[in-house]
Amino acid sequence: MLKKLCDYEKELMEMVAQGKPLSAEQLLSVRTHIGFFQHERLVHELVMILFAILTVGGIFFLIVVPEISVIALDVLFFVLLVPYVKHYYGLENGVQRLYEAYEKLEKLK
As a whole number of angstroms, the distance between CA 109 and CA 106 comes to 5
- The whole-angstrom separation of Cα 24 and Cα 43 is 29
Q: What's the mean pLDDT in 93-109?
A: 92
Tell whether the model's pLDDT for residue 90 goes beyond 90.
yes
The answer to whether 77 touches 50, Cβ cutoff 8 Å, is no
Q: What residues contact 106, with CB distance under 8 A and at least 6 apart?
A: 27
3 state DSSP class of 14: helix
How confident is the model over 30-72, as pLDDT tens digits? 999 999 999 999 999 999 999 999 999 999 999 999 999 999 9
Q: Are 13 and 101 in contact (CB under 8 A)?
A: yes
pLDDT at 89 exceeding the cut of 90: yes
